[in-house]
Amino acid sequence: MGGKNKKHKAPGAAAVRAAVSASRAKSSEAGAAGEAPNKKPVARPPPAAAASTREPRVKQGPKIYSFNSANDSGGPANLDKSILKVVINHKLEQRIIGVINEHKKQNNDKGVISGRLTVKKLQDLYMALQAFSFKTKDIEDAMTNTLLQGGDLHSALDWLCLNLSDDALPEGFSQEFEEQQPKSRPKFQSPQIPATVSPPLQPKTKKPEDTKVKPKKEEKNLEVNMKEWILRYAEQQNEEEKSGNSKSLEAEEKFDPNERYLHLAAKLLDAKEQAATFKLEKNKQGQKEAQEKIRKFQREMETLEDHPVFNPAIKISHQQNERKKPPVATEEERALNFNLFEKSVAATEEEKEKKKEPHDVRNFDYTARSWTGKSPKQFLIDWVRKNLPKSPNPSFEKVPVGRYWKCRVRVIKSEDDVLVVCPTILTEDGMQAQHLGATLALYRLVKGQNSLCGYQIRMESRASESTRLLYCTTGVLLRKLQEDGLLTNVSHVIVDEVHERSVQSDFLLIILKEILQKRSDLHLILMSATVDSEKFSTYFTHCPILRISGRSYPVEVFHLEDIIEETGFVLEKDSEYCQKFLEEEEEITINVTSKAGGIKKYQEFIPVHTGSSADLNPFYQKYSSRTQHAILYMNPHKINLDLILELLIYLDRSPQFRTTEGAVLIFLPGLAHIQQLYDLLSTDRRFFSERYKVIALHSILSTQDQAAAFTLPPPGVRKIVLATNIAETGITIPDVVFVIDTGRTKENKYHESSQMSSLVETFVSKASALQRQGRAGRVRDGFCFRMYTRERFEGFMDYSVPEILRVPLEELCLHIMKCNLGSPEDFLSKALDPPQLQVISNAMNLLRKIGACELNEPTLTPLGQHLAALPVNVKIGKMLIFGAIFGCLDPVATLAAVMTEKSPFTTPIGRKDEADLAKSALAMADSDHLTIYNAYLGWKKARQEGGYRSEVAYCRRNFLNRTSLLTLEDVKQELIKLVKAAGFSSSTSNDWEGNRASQTLSFQEIALLKAVLAAGLYDNVGKIIYTKSVDVTEKLACIVETAQGKAQVHPSSVNRDLQTYGWLLYQEKVRYTRVYLRETTLITPFPVLLFGGDIEVQHRERLLSVDGWICFQAPVKIAVIFKQLRVLIDSVLRKKLENPKMSLENDKILQIITELIKTENHNGN
């Protein structure tokens, strides 16, 4: 300990003098040493890449500061026009520097003083700064303001760039000096001076104008100035040590402030526990003494926090977490840190701890005469029986599981208290319900069981202290685990519909399995009608299985061939639901004889049928040729809405179904199909009568609209409910008799080309199809109409693939790190179906690349903390966060929705040229993303002004898919809700809404949107290979150099023939006959420098490089500014994390960065 603290001390004055005296010869040869070839200087990373205040984990040798010379660069960089030049307006630059310096002062940015700071290092640093031609006084100021606060050479260079005026900076450091150089100092353009030769220095006593000094005197002055600074540094340190305390040197060497701080922190916790105990015992004297101890420890800890070698991480990890700990926590509970998803919505925990005053009804006054010998308890029982309403009879008697409940008060338990059963009611248990089931129909439960039953969803809660049965979603239960890691107030947890196997449910099962090992009294019950129960039983140490027959009525099933046969549906060749085949035509000659005896020959072409009933399964031979033709040619991947309309009409005309009362439930993949079918039903005259009541059921609708699906219509009215798979298991509509199953659903799938996941329409599994069928047999005999053939049903998978095996794991890894559950690789190995290690590794690499977690350990950055609160792809989440803080959430959410769904532009067969021309007319700012946004604005304008007909005409004229636009609008609104729920909302985003549909984007708004796009899509960026053509009218394909090689912009892009110098952002890379880039956007340097990878500086070449291969021309000062701006952005995110309610609208840092982005186009770039 003592030796370690010796290194933290400054060297003594005597030692410094001896070191300087011994190194005079080395100092005089410092300039010549630079002329010798360095050890592969080009292969070494530039100094700025290693600018960090962290101490290395492994023992390394002394730092060697070296810089690339101009001779190694192959010539001046500014001769290459493909390397863009970065320029900042001078006035804006000064304001930015002012904001940076103000932030440093306010936050008192100090690093830890290096424990290996020696005289030799001081000499090396001093010599390195001298080699850059900085003035002696400036060097002294820089070293005083950086080295004494834990900095190094790069910190000193940053300080000089930010605090010196442009005329005081050496060549290559100032953009003003560089701009004036060709006019005032043309001789300095010669690159013949070696990189490390020290320029002439002045003695401190002479004026700056005297520059003619002999070389020998120059070396002597160099040594003297360096010696003076080191001596002053040592004397300053000695004076501070003497004035600080009078302890002996031996005792001071043994003192470690960090250990003392930890010791005091432990005592502080003990004192707080004593104070809490005394408070409960009402011991005022003991409480007063404990408070005195607490104040004493806190004062001493505050003193230690100002110590130069104090580690700030200790303060954060102990002081801050202490405030967050619950008042009662066991060691086992502390071991599980469930900081999961967003924080709990309602702060009801504090209310539960407060003791309520007894009500007047609890005071029973009676006299000796009136007393009948009853105890107070009996008085209370009589009063409750007399004044409170009688509780309803238990409803479990009416359900199939009731007989199990009645005969087994204690259900069979295993050693780990884990059960797999199917009950509906367990009094005083916690219950988990999926999706809308947590809100729909729960109104009746809450009303029927008074306050004993409640529910809680993300933005709504109806529960009280007397609640014993709580319905909630998976996310709510996980947030409860965040507050109470062992669920100490819960006796039973029932997880319903476990067969759905979402990422959240699998994640929850891992955590619950660990809790069961610590709580033997907790009961876990898993429920499902179609789950592979043996697999779950094995996962939970072979727990028992209870199989209970459900209460349902028989359901008659009709498949597609039966529906077509009964309804008489005819599939036309030109129908949008008919598959297009290449038909072979046969030429025939027809001879026609006229009355006069003449013969005329006619040649005709008739199609040869490539498909016939012979290609069908022999099973279909019993159906008519019309049905066989429809089955053969109908597109199975497209939902036939026309056939659904015919089926609904058939139900009211058929003698078999006409008199059957009951609702019709139609399963559709998503909101777009619900909207499309709803519009068809609303505009079809056959459904105008009051006979039909159409209701849409979707999560984006209000609770009141959703509740309408559960109301019984008047007699003679047919209720038609349009729903997604939400009605498959999560909810039960009581009066459903008819089910129309389209056999389609949307699943989250990962796309390797874009490294993103999206909802993809796919066929359901057999288990899901059986679940949908069962919805029709709840109240009476039901009927299920499947819009797919019996043969296709047999080809369905038995169960859906678990979501954890088919989606990217970035979001899950974020939550694992946020919960401090250790390495994601180790944690996910405990899952029911563990994902491959390579998939987890890819997820972690992406998180490091976008700056969401630290490079060397599973720890989240401030950005990662915020991304963990957004249940979206991490790249989309990063876009949304920056869109919110820069006040453009509405358009960014639209662009994000486009990335998660498919492009609304269509290209009909044979009309490619027309479609390209229409898209070019909407093109904007060399960007496919902004072109789609422009088309979206036009669609909204047509929809607002002209209604449905104008909307359809606009889509037809511009080759847009209306269904895709409806889906885009739905996803956009959902994304905005998620961002606002995470605490990111700004009134400035309202400027993009309202009248935006009738306006065009300004240049400043385009620059801001492109910057946010770059923040989300980086590192999907490539350099345009500019090819100059002799013929101006010639259209050359745009070729781009990416980090993985060359690629061509896709022919459908508006940038397909773009020829210019610059960088192109792309959404995905696909391989067909060649590698193509889809959905591209031309970007400028500022977004890459602000939101890209690591910035490296090549000082002599005046180049900035991002991630080692994206290069820009700029002086060193520009690089320092952008590096500091990144620090400021992290500080804003950190402040927002600490205070989610903080408004960012008037933040100076964000305002100056926004202004910088918007003015880039006016700086000559």
pLDDT by residue (tens digit) across 108-135?
Answer: 665 555 555 667 677 777 777 877 778 8
The pair of structure tokens assigned to 457 is 């969803």
Domain span at 695: 561-566+661-800
User: Which amino acid type is present at position 885?
Assistant: I
Q: What is the 3-state secondary structure (H, E, C) of 498-553?
A: HHHCCHHHHHHHHHHHHHHCCCCCCEEEEECCCCCHHHHHHHCCCCCECCCCCCCC
Strands 1063-1071 and 1075-1083: antiparallel
Average pLDDT rounded to a whole number, residues 1055-1060: 91
Per-residue pLDDT of 171-223, as tens digits, reads 767 655 444 444 444 444 434 444 333 444 344 444 444 444 444 445 555 55
CB 84 within 8 A of CB 77: no
Confidence of residue 353 (pLDDT cuts 50, 70, 90): very low
| Domain identity same for 861 and 911 | no
Residue 79 DSSP class: G
For the stretch 986-1032, pLDDT in tens is 545 445 654 455 567 888 999 999 999 999 998 889 999 988 877 77
pLDDT > 90: what percent of the chain?
20
Report residue 430 CA to chain centroid gap. Answer: 30
SS3 406: helix
Q: Select from 1103, 1044, 1028, 1062 the least CA-distant residue to 74.
A: 1103
Of 967, 989, 1004, at which residue does a domain stop?
A: 1004
Nearest residue to 893 (alpha-carbon basis) of 989, 997, 809: 989
In a domain, 372, yes or no: no
Lowest mean pLDDT among 624-633, 746-755, 1080-1089: 746-755
149 pLDDT above the threshold of 50? yes
Q: Which amino acid is at 841?
A: S
386 inside domain: no
Name the token pair of 1113: 């021309």
Domain check: are 776 and 848 in the same one? no
**Residues 65 and 186 grouped into a single domain:** yes
Kindly report which listed range (69-73, 788-792, 898-902, 996-1000) carries the lowest average pLDDT score.
Answer: 69-73
Question: For residue 596, is it within any domain?
Answer: no
- Whether 643 shows a pLDDT value over 80: the answer reads yes
Rounded percentage of the chain residues whose pLDDT exceeds 70: 67
Query: Looking at 102-111, 444-453, 526-535, 945-954, which range is the least confident one?
Result: 444-453
Q: Which residues pair with 591 in a beta bridge?
A: 601
Nearest CA to 1000 out of 937, 951, 957 is that of 937
Least confident of 381-390, 677-686, 956-965: 381-390
| DSSP labels, 790-810 | HHHHHTS-SSPPPGGGTS--H
Same domain, yes or no: 788 and 734: yes
Specify whether 919 is located in the same domain as 827.
no
108-122, 469-483, 728-742: least confidently modelled range: 108-122
Q: What are phi and psi of 851, to 5 degrees?
A: 85, 25
Distance, CA of 930 to CA of 923 (rounded, Å): 8
What is the bridge-based pairing of β-strands 1110-1113 and 1103-1106?
antiparallel
Choosing from 800, 821, 839, the residue where a domain stops is: 800
Whether residue 534 sits in one domain with residue 441: yes
Q: Kindly report whether the peptide bond that precedes residue 741 is cis, defined as omega within 30 degrees of 0.
A: no
Claim to verify: residue 417 and residue 318 sit in the same structural domain: no
- For residue 237, the 8-state DSSP code is H
- Per DSSP, 113 falls in state P
Residue 710 belongs to domain with CATH number = 3.40.50.300
Please tell me the distance from the alpha carbon of residue 879 to that of residue 578, in angstroms, as a whole number. Answer: 40
Alpha carbon 985 to its chain's center? 16
Helix (H) or strand (E) holding 1095: strand 1095-1098
Enclosing H/E stretch for 1005? helix 1003-1017
Query: 315-319, 688-692, 950-954: lowest mean pLDDT where?
Result: 315-319
Confirm if 470 and 463 have CB atoms less than 8 A apart.
Answer: yes
570-613: per-residue pLDDT in tens? 998 888 888 866 556 677 777 777 777 777 777 776 665 555 54
Domains identified in the chain, total number: 6
- Say which amino acid occupies 1144: L
* Same-domain check for residues 456 and 440: yes
Structural domain ending residue among the three candidates 752, 774, 800: 800
DSSP state of 953: H
Nearest to 863 by CA among 854, 875, 851: 851
Residue 400 falls inside a structural domain: yes
- Length of the chain, please? 1165
Most trustworthy range by pLDDT among 325-329, 469-473, 995-999, 1063-1067:
1063-1067
Same domain, 242 and 270: no
The DSSP letter of residue 754 is T
Is the domain of 834 the same as that of 794?
no
Instruction: Give residue-wise pLDDT tens across range 808-851.
Output: 888 889 988 888 888 999 999 999 999 988 889 988 988 988 88
Query: In the numeric block, which tokens belong to residue 922?
Result: 């909407």
* Dihedral of alpha carbons 124, 126, 128, 131, sign: negative
Taking the C-alpha atoms of residue 746 and residue 760, their distance in angstroms, rounded to an integer, is 5
**Helix-helix angle 1003-1017:1148-1158, to 10 degrees:** 110
Following DSSP, what letter does each residue of 117-170 receive, concatenated?
--HHHHHHHHHHHHHTT--HHHHHHHHHHHGGGT--HHHHHHHHHHHS-GGGS-
**Residue 453 · residue 445 · CB < 8 Å:** yes
Q: Is residue 1081 part of a domain?
A: no
262 alpha-carbon distance from chain centroid: 36
Give per-residue pLDDT as tens, 260-299: 777 788 788 878 888 888 888 888 888 888 888 888 888 8
The Cα 614–Cα 297 span in angstroms is 91
The pLDDT, as a whole number, for residue 349 is 42
pLDDT at residue 352, as a whole number: 42
Question: For the residues 837-866, what does the mean pLDDT come to?
Answer: 87
Q: From 305, 323, 306, select the one nearest 314 (Cα to Cα).
A: 305
Q: How many CB atoms lie within 10 A of CB 1047?
A: 21
Helix (H) / strand (E) element for 221: namely helix 215-244
What does residue 344 show for φ and ψ, rounded to 5 degrees? Answer: -60, 145
Residue 1033 within a domain: no
Report the SS3 class of residue 180. helix
Are 690 and 764 members of one domain? yes
DSSP letter at 72 equals G
Q: Are 1088 and 13 in contact (CB under 8 A)?
A: no
**Around Cβ 384, how many Cβ atoms within 10 Å?**
10
19 and 44 inside one domain: yes
> Does 1027 map to a domain?
no
Taking the model in full, what pTM does it have? 0.59
Distances (CA, A) of 743 to 147, 646, 991: 68, 18, 42
CB–CB of 1020/1079 below 8 Å? no
Is there a contact between 570 and 626 (Cβ–Cβ < 8 Å)?
yes
Question: 742 to each of 620, 686, 745, 1165, how far by Cα in Å?
Answer: 20, 22, 9, 54
The answer to whether the beta carbons of residues 674 and 972 sit under 8 Å apart is no
Q: Is residue 38 part of a domain?
A: yes
